[in-house]
């Protein structure tokens, strides 16, 4: 099947939905999502969204906190406009129906998280992302110009390579013409042609064994752009959230939001002793890279599998009111957080690098935009400041929509793109190999490319990944495609990008810490 639209949006989280709503007045929009519409990383966001709302906070304070957390690699121009636009983007969310918690006086009940110098995180209990996702979906579902394709897996974006031609004078840059999409009803690959395409596919943390991200976070957008020869950068900066609930049998790991530490919870050893004073003056509220490395070091010293987050000294009623989801989850495991310490361990959480985009969300590929966790905007640098991710998505989807609206009238569809060629592909009876290969990949990345790295570990990871790559590509080229096979292919691409980027960075900075290039000065 062939479909022609003005705007193709790949992904249904905050970045994709915001863009779709803004461009829908100017053409036909098709949102493609590989799962259910609300099955997104956005829906899993507990903590909140950072924005300057009241004094004594200020844009400048938020800017400096962001740059400090980014360890010198943030693009200051991007940081400044993202934060100064934050207040307007929050007002827009509220206009669309989002309800943030307020105090009895009617002011927003702002939280404070690691790396923030002021209370500036808006939240809806401990399920902020779910609230935002639901309200955006309410708006999208009733818009006549927006079509939603659930359970459709995007295999690759369409470029000159699918025309059997190289970049030439007629098309001087690599150009995106749409995407090949796997249709769950026919099990065939559809061709969707678009004038403008936005990739908003989220992160890639399932390249690791232990992650707080949903199983859908497989780096699809980044891998597609890489294969299309688009610019990808800063993939070495993978953020490990310091406090995931320790429960090895559960995947993904349940997140214990950083807002809980902002509320007053304290990190402690298995013996109940505080330890963050040995690593940073900000204690349990230091930036995530600092806290994750501190926990990793404490676990290596003690040989334990986890340590604790202590909330027992906090007011029980206020604790439960602010964190009802966490309270209920822990209680289901026999942990009363008002009486018992919470066992926690770091887990892969956020991809700071990704598709390189400019200040308007444009990638290096013509007619291809990107927004959200799949991008590298310059906002996060070497380490994302807590609760800046939802804000970044809002701002860049807004800017991308304005640029896309300006350009769409001058772009024509490319009808020369051939349909998908499935000749020679057969149903693979060894699909169990996909599951086994994924476990091997996750084990390689967790063992050698985790919180602490070295040249030796990276080389071992590369050598082992090379064999997995050859095997998976052979399977991909011969098999009838399935989402699981495509996700494995994408995750292997992601692993390669992380390893190569980490190998090229001969220093320890932010989320990339190498035993061979230790930091020469404190953070």
Select which of 89, 120, 130, 288 is catalytic: 288
Of the candidates 143, 141, 120, the residue with the CA atom closest to the CA atom of residue 50? 120
Helix pair angle (86-95, 76-84), 10° resolution:
40
Rounded Cα gap, residues 44 and 26, in angstroms? 31
CA distances for 45 relative to 86, 213, 238, 405, angstroms: 18, 9, 17, 29
**Composition of the chain by helix, strand, coil, percent to 5:** 40, 20, 45
The question of whether 120 is a catalytic residue gets the answer no
Of the candidates 274, 247, 431, the residue with the CA atom closest to the CA atom of residue 343? 247
Nearest 5°: the CA angle 339, 348, 182 is 125
Q: Is the peptide bond before 492 cis (omega within 30 degrees of 0)?
A: no
Buried b (16+ CB within 10 A) or exposed e, 128-164: bbbbbbebbbebbeeeebbebbebbbbbbbbbbebee
Rg of the chain over CA atoms, in angstroms? 22
327 three-class SS? helix
CA distances for 178 relative to 15, 24, 35, 332, 513, angstroms: 18, 17, 19, 45, 38
Buried b (16+ CB within 10 A) or exposed e, 402-421: ebbbebbeebeebeebeebe
The Cβ of residue 246 has, within 10 Å, a number of other Cβ atoms equal to: 21
CB proximity list for 18: less than 8 A, separation 6 or greater: 136, 371, 393, 394, 397, 398, 401
What are 334's two structure tokens? 């026999």
Of the candidates 137, 151, 119, the residue with the CA atom closest to the CA atom of residue 47? 119
With contact defined as beta carbons under 8 Å apart, do 128 and 122 qualify? yes
Q: Is 30 left (phi over 0), alpha (psi -120 to 50) or beta?
A: beta
Rounded Cα gap, residues 502 and 461, in angstroms? 11
Helix pair angle (483-504, 220-227), 10° resolution:
70
Which residue matches tokens 């309800």?
A: 99
Which positions are annotated as active-site residues? 288
């Amino acid at each position: 099947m062939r479909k022609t639209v003005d705007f193709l949006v790949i992904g249904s989280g905050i970045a994709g939905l915001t863009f779709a709503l803004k461009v829908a007045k100017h053409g036909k929009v098709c949102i493609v999502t590989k799962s259910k519409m609300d099955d997104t990383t956005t829906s899993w966001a507990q903590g909140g969204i950072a924005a300057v709302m009241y004094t004594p906070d200020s844009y400048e304070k938020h800017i400096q906190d962001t740059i400090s957390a980014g360890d010198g690699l943030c693009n200051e121009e991007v940081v400044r406009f993202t934060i100064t636009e934050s207040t307007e983007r929050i007002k827009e969310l509220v206009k669309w129906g989002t309800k943030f918690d307020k105090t009895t006086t009617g002011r927003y009940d702002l939280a404070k998280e690691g790396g923030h110098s002021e209370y500036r995180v808006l939240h809806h209990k401990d399920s902020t992302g779910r609230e935002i996702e639901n309200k955006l979906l309410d708006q999208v579902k009733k818009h006549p110009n927006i079509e939603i394709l659930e359970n459709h897996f995007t295999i690759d974006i369409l470029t000159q390579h699918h025309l059997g031609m190289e970049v030439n004078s007629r098309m001087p840059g690599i150009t995106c013409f749409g995407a090949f999409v796997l249709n769950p009803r026919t099990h065939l690959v559809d061709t969707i042609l678009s004038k403008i395409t936005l990739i908003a596919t989220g992160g890639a943390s399932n390249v690791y064994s232990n992650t707080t991200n949903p199983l859908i976070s497989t780096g699809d957008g980044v891998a597609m752009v890489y294969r299309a020869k688009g610019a990808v950068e800063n993939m070495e900066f993978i953020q490990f959230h310091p406090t995931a609930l320790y429960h090895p049998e559960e995947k993904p790991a349940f997140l214990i939001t950083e807002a809980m530490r902002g509320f007053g919870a304290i990190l402690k050893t298995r013996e109940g002793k505080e330890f963050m004073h040995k690593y940073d003056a900000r204690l349990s509220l230091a930036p995530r890279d600092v806290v994750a490395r501190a926990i990793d070091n404490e676990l290596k010293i003690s040989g334990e599998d986890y340590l604790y987050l202590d909330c027992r000294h906090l007011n029980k009623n206020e604790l439960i009111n602010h964190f009802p989801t966490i309270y209920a989850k822990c209680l289901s495991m026999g942990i009363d957080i008002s009486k018992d310490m919470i066992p926690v361990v770091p887990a892969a959480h956020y991809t700071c690098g990704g598709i390189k985009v400019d200040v308007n969300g444009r990638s290096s590929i013509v007619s291809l935009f990107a927004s959200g966790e799949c991008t590298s905007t310059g906002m996060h640098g070497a380490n994302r400041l807590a609760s800046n991710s939802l804000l970044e998505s809002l701002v860049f989807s807004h800017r991308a929509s304005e640029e896309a609206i300006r350009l769409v009238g001058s772009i024509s569809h490319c009808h020369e793109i051939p349909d998908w060629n499935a000749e020679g592909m057969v149903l693979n009876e060894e699909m169990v190999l996909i599951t086994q290969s994924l476990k091997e990949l996750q084990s390689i990345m967790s063992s050698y490319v985790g919180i602490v790295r070295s040249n030796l570990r990276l080389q071992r990871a590369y050598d082992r990944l090379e064999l997995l790559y050859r095997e998976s590509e052979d399977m991909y080229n011969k098999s009838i495609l399935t989402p699981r096979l495509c996700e494995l292919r994408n995750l292997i691409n992601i692993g390669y990008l992380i390893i190569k980027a980490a190998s090229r960075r001969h220093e320890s900075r932010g989320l990339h810490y190498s035993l061979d290039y230790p930091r020469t000065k404190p953070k």
